[in-house]
Amino acid sequence: MTALPPIFQDWFTSRGWTIHPHQQAMLDQAASPALMLIAPTGGGKTLAGFLPSLIELADGRHEGLHTLYVSPLKALAADIKRNLRRPVEEMGLPIRIEDRTGDTTYTQKRRQRADPPHILLTTPESLALLTSYEDAPRIFKGLQRIIVDEIHALAESKRGDQLMLALSRLQTLAPDLRRVGLSATVEDPAAIARQLTRHPDPCDIINADPGPDPDIAMLVTQERPPWSGGGAKYAIPAVLEEVKKHKTTLIFHNTRAQAEIFFHNLWLANTDDLPIGIHHGSLAREQRERVEAAMVAGQLRAIVCTGSLDLGIDWGDVDLVIQVGAPKNVKRLVQRIGRANHRYNAPSKALLVPANRFEVVECIAALEAVKAHDLDGDPKGGGPRDVLCQHILITACAGPFDADALYREIRTVGAYRDLSRAAFDDCLDFCATGGYALRAYDKWKRLLQTADGRWQLRDPRAAQRIRMNIGTIQDTDTLKVRMKGNYKPLGEVEEAFAATLTPGDTFLIGGQVVRYENLKEMTVEVSRRADKTPKIATFMGTKFANSTQLSQRILRMFDQADWPELPAHTAEWLGLQRKFSKLPEADRILVESFPHEGRHHLCVYGFAGRNAMQTLGMLVTQRMEELNLHPMGFVATDYATLIWGLDPVTDPTPLLQPDNMRADFETWLSGNAVMKRTFRGAATIAGLIERNLPQARKSGRQATFSSDILYDTLSKYDPDHLMLRITREEAMRGLVDFGRIEEMLTRTAGRIDHLNLDRVTPLSLPMFLEQGRIAVAGAGRERLMEEEAARLMAAAGVSSL
């Protein structure tokens, strides 16, 4: 056992602490080249990660960078800096700690490169950027440890892949580098360990005491949850009561839009003027920082927030977590609950607030899963090649590289261990020449081979543009929002949302109602409004998919004769669905037809998960198109697909016929919106589409044309191009999830119950408020556009000029 040095022992003693067993274990195994700690929040996980670094740095002899700390969130880096400085200052250790994120100033960043601190706290994107500089070898020389915090969250996304690629680079620059991963409780620690380690080296795993089960329940309200909607406005009085009863409450929402609406309504009802703040990723940085500072200072009684506060941030006195809206994923719920009550070995307290009746069912299913320790998770595929392309470009920015050496280095990344040389060469060719069948860019290659066979940028100035576009986060294009005549932004909205606004429309941002004035220099200008309710309720936001396990639990629940575990109103609602229509069953597909607002609706309950249900929507509307049923659009949730169109569907059987579904699927794959969206993501990451351009967009004219045009052109002239292959594979795995459609069709074996009803059914109600409606670009849309144009022409009283 490695004993704590006296100065550390004294510090622990002075605070009345003893070292936790897992902190001791981390110390004992500090020499391990790869080490992962699994610990619940509040278990002193961060200190356990940093303790070996602090001890190694205590004698003041190490020069330059010693430890890199990488976290998925900027806020987390800032927070850790605060928490780490305390022991360092109290023990008087000669250790310099700094953070470096997208928010760090330019001057500070330059200084950090010239004179790196001992401990640098950063994000995967900022680290990738650092490795792109020519002086990366000097910056990282002597680097001893890298700590990847919340690795379970990173491991699920392309950000994790990018980070691990950067790590392989760092390992070459600093061969003694030891890797440490800190993770919350996950269903498969070994899978994450394989991603962390240098392949094929083993990775040691330390499991901390998971602590007591959380104290978690559904919030009981006087008011009934509404039939539909996501705002949970009905629960505001009950939530306010809970806020009053606790020191500090975090109120989580699944989307930014919901957080905005809830916050707004909370303030309208907050007659006691309790200090309540809002925090989400669309808000301007200054605003977020103000809330964070107020929270740390203990000035806030509650924060309405989204996933931007989701990960391991130590806010100290949080004693209640409220989750508004169904958690969608049990693992995320458990991690969120970990926010509450950071005292080790004390149960965390959490309340679930379903936003509507369907979510009551989802919440109860999630509660049962938490009790059963039934965490969900999906296996991850091989390393994505769009991220690899970006990595090659980043490598080229740092200077000439040898392709063989780079290939060997990439294969040490767990996710890329099976990458073939041919696949690597494809990516290199894409970066160098565009990889087109028509070799059009011989004169203007992006990468050239030098006389010694190494690769380098043709034009070194291109490095700036590549650096500006580093990152894999797929935020949809956003526009800044600011008050007219005021420079400071209020926050951001998605471009697609901004496009729907006309002057005079009001919407919510940063908890206030604003009026859309105009679009100026790619910024949305607004003015303040005293209105209580915005005309346009929401802007879009990220959505989580329900896990398979939760869907299965819900279907089992539907099968019960009655539902004593559900609140009366929800049991009653399911009863109504059973009376007026039918409850979906696991081995049958329920299809409902009904009219609504002048459109014919078709609701297919497949319970195959959001992505597969979305694909089903695509396939069914394609078949409707062929049958001249004029589908207009659809929306998918985890349990159903709702389709609307100009004509009624009398028999859904041919629409759900498994024969030819695979063939239809192949045809459909080439030309649909999901593919285009997937393409856009992959092409942006791989460097074919630039998100950020050196000069600010001034004119309001689109600086780039739509990625759809690139997709269509490639599909037509170069169908085997790398970007299209990546798009197809990704769509199959992620957004398309065709496997689960086939599974659903096999499971139900043609047993379809079609019910013709005269109105919206209880179970389909929540579908009408779902975001993410997808328009079908077919004859129906053309017909509608013509009708609309004719109507406008008539209304304007002109047939022509």
Q: Does residue 721 bind another protein (CB under 8 A)?
A: yes
Stretch that binds another protein, among 272-280, 346-354, 554-562, 788-796 (CB under 8 A): 788-796
Asked if 800 interacts with another protein (CB under 8 A), we say: yes
Tally of CB atoms within 10 A around 401: 17
Nearer to another protein, 651 or 782 (CB): 782
Using CB under 8 A as the binding rule, whether residue 401 contacts another protein is answered as no
Out of 394, 457, 526, 655, the residue judged to bind another protein by CB under 8 A: 457
The answer to whether residue 420 forms part of the interface with another protein (CB under 8 A) is no
Write the binding mask 480 to 499 for another protein: x where contact by CB under 8 A, - elsewhere: -------------------x
Q: Output the smallest distance, CB 691 to another protein, in A.
A: 12
405: contact with another protein by CB under 8 A: no
Residue 438 or 561 having the CB closest to another protein: 438
Q: Give the three-class secondary structure for 38.
A: strand
Query: Which stretch in 167-175, 290-298, 436-444, 560-568 sits in contact with another protein by CB under 8 A?
Result: 436-444
Residue ranges in 559-672 assigned as alpha helix (H): 568-580, 610-626, 661-670
Distant-in-sequence, close-in-space partners of 305: CB < 8 Å, separation ≥ 6: 250, 251, 252, 253, 259, 278, 279, 280
Residue 696 touches another protein, criterion: CB under 8 A: no
**Within 13 A of 97's CA, how many CA atoms are on the CB side?**
23
Beta-sheet pairing, 215-218 with 145-148: unpaired
Instruction: Decide: is 784 part of the binding site for another protein (CB under 8 A).
Output: yes
Q: Which long-range contacts (CB under 8 A, 24 or more apart) does 780-784 make?
A: 780/625, 780/630, 780/631, 780/632, 780/645, 780/646, 781/632, 783/630, 783/646, 784/632, 784/646
Interaction residues for another protein, span 256-275 (CB under 8 A): none
Contacts of 535 (CB under 8 A, 6+ apart): 505, 506, 507
The verdict on 57 binding another protein (CB under 8 A) reads no
> How far apart, in Å, do the first and last CA atoms of the chain sit?
90
- Check if the beta carbon of residue 605 is closer than 8 Å to that of residue 589: yes
Candidates 181-189, 540-548, 695-703, 742-750: pick the segment binding another protein (CB under 8 A).
695-703
Residues 315 to 354 in contact with another protein, rule: CB under 8 A: none
Considering beta carbons, is residue 389 or 557 the nearer one to another protein? Answer: 389
- Exposed (0-12), middle (13-18) or buried (19+): which is 465, by Cβ within 10 Å? middle
How does 478-495 read in b/e, with b if 16+ C-beta sit within 10 Å? bbbbbbeeeeebbbbbbe
The CB density around residue 539, as the number of other CB atoms within 10 Å, is: 25
Among 450, 716, 720, 758, binds another protein (CB under 8 A): 716
**Residue 703 interacts with another protein (CB under 8 A): yes or no:** yes
Nearer to another protein, 486 or 713 (CB): 713
Q: How many residues bind another protein (CB under 8 A)?
A: 51
Using CB under 8 A as the criterion, what x/- string covers residues 76-95 for binding another protein? --------------------
| Min separation Cβ 520 and another protein, Å | 9
Is 768 near another protein (CB under 8 A)? no
Token pair 């595929």: residue: 381
Rounded least distance, CB 21 to another protein, Å:
53
Query: Does 775 participate in binding another protein (rule CB under 8 A)?
Result: yes
Of 454, 465, 535, 691, the one binding another protein (CB under 8 A) is 465
- In the shown chain, the binding pattern of residues 135 to 174 toward another protein, with x for contact by CB under 8 A and - for none, equals ----------------------------------------
Q: Crossing angle, helix 421-433 and helix 722-733, to 10 degrees?
A: 120
DSSP 3-state of 686 = helix
Q: Is 797 exposed, middle or buried (0-12, 13-18, 19+ CB in 10 A)?
A: exposed
The answer to whether 459 contacts another protein (rule: CB under 8 A) is: yes
* Cα-based distances in Å from 180 to 75, 192, 206, 279, 688: 20, 12, 11, 30, 34
Nearest by Cα to 715 from 676, 682, 660: 676
Please check whether residue 100 is in contact with residue 112, taking contact to mean a CB–CB distance below 8 angstroms: yes
Query: What is the binding site for another protein (CB under 8 A)?
Result: 433-434, 436, 438, 440-441, 443-444, 446, 457-459, 462, 465-466, 499-500, 687-690, 699-705, 709-710, 713-714, 716-718, 721, 775, 781-782, 784-786, 788-789, 792-793, 795-796, 798, 800-801
